[in-house]
Amino acid sequence: MFEVRQVNKIFKKLISVILCITVVVSTFILGDFSGTAAAVDGTDIPLIYVQGTGMPLFVKDENGEEKEVYPVTIPDGFIEKTVKDNMGIFAKAVLTQKWEEFGKVLAESLGEIYGILNLDKHGKTQNGVYLKWTWNKEKLNPKKSHGKYPTQRFTFNYDWRLDPYENADLLHQFIEDVREVTGEDKVGLSGRCLGSCITMAYMEKYDAQYISDYILYASALDGATQCSKCFAGEMYLDPDGVERFMYDLQLSDDDVTNQLIQSFVTVFNRTYGLDITCAAVNNVLKKKYLEFMPDAMMSTFGTFPGYWSMVNDRDYERAKDNVFHNVDKEKYADFI
């Protein structure tokens, strides 16, 4: 019996050693063999990827310390205080169906969060806000991996608030630097969402003679629905969309509380409670948009040429009339 146990132990150790050797050897083999999955993720020529909106933005405070201002951070207690301070104004608007006063306090509240991101009347950055990402030729890695250029290596970042043509100038320099360091005559170009507008602005302004392949991913060339409809005053709350949003939104640090809220919203939707609520809100949005949304838009995204580039041509004139309803449109003629 003792000998059997000893044999089993020796056998297990032998199997362990064989497995370890197999793992080590296969690692080296797969690393050197160009036909494996490790080499699949790549392109024969450099691929310039221009991503969508949302790159972080920063400012420096009075002490010179860097502070992230986008994505925005809502201060603790801000929503509760804002709701409490303005509940009377909201109730008055509901009862009288006059929303101008509510629109002003809404714009002021949003301005406290988004105001620092606003651009000036020429569509230029202000308040010291900047994009942290930069590049230079020395930082660009021209080497291939397993005979391919990694697909994410040459990702182009940009200040998504600015005019696509302004960002196209930076993209042009980035492409020229990539071509120089890699020694390649042509590159591939890929744009996602707002990035597609940047790439198209580049090709219109600088021609496409150095672009071998052009890839669009979730393109916004014909506008982005969220931007177009919001800017044009056609906002709409969908009951199922609200329910999905509530499932993603964590209103409490307690999981049980979040589950209770989500369950309530689901039941409320299934019993058509959300339909009635959303219908009431949509009725206000449709009839009273110009009374409270233009100021709110100007406090948030209305001064971003980048976002205006995602308003489709069918909604564009109406969007200008709506967003600039309370200001002189000619003042912002440089970017609309």
Residues 277 and 242 in one domain: yes
Stretch (H or E) spanning 130: strand 130-131
Residue 61 lies in a domain: no
Residues 235 and 314 in one domain: yes
pLDDT along the chain (336 residues), means of 10: 48 46 39 39 92 92 92 86 90 91 92 94 94 90 91 94 96 96 96 95 92 92 89 89 80 78 88 90 89 91 94 94 89 77
Query: What is the pTM for the complete model shown?
Result: 0.79
Residues 294 and 204 in one domain: no
Q: How many domains does the chain have?
A: 2
The residue from 219, 244, 266 where one domain ends is: 219
Q: Look at residue 45 in the predicted model and tell me its pLDDT.
A: 94
Q: Look at residue 251 in the predicted model and tell me its pLDDT.
A: 67
Residues 179 and 308 in one domain: no
Residues 80 and 180 in one domain: no
Residues 230 and 327 in one domain: yes
Q: Look at residue 9 in the predicted model and tell me its pLDDT.
A: 52
Residue 41 lies in a domain: no
Cα–Cα distance, 59 to 129 (Å, whole number): 5
Residues 304 and 328 in one domain: yes
Residues 325 and 228 in one domain: yes
Range of the domain at 231: 3-31+72-123+224-332
> Measured between alpha carbons, how far is residue 162 from residues 42, 121, 134, 203, 312 in Å?
31, 12, 16, 17, 17
Residues 118 and 228 in one domain: yes
The residue from 168, 194, 219 where one domain ends is: 219
DSSP conformation letters of 49-76:
EE--S---EEEE-TTS-EEEEES--PPT
Residue 194 lies in a domain: yes
Residues 17 and 138 in one domain: no
Residue 63 lies in a domain: no
Q: Look at residue 54 in the predicted model and tell me its pLDDT.
A: 86
Q: In one letter, which amino acid is 19?
A: L
Closest CA to 175 of 204, 206, 146: 206
Q: Are 94 and 25 in contact (CB under 8 A)?
A: no
Residue 37 lies in a domain: no
Q: Look at residue 213 in the predicted model and tell me its pLDDT.
A: 93
Residue 104 lies in a domain: yes
Q: Within its chain, how far is the Cα of 256 from the centroid?
A: 30
The residue from 219, 254, 288 where one domain ends is: 219
Residues 255 and 286 in one domain: yes
Q: Within its chain, how far is the Cα of 102 from the centroid?
A: 29
Residue 39 lies in a domain: no
Q: Are 54 and 161 in contact (CB under 8 A)?
A: no
Q: What is the DSSP letter of 217?
A: E
Residues 101 and 116 in one domain: yes
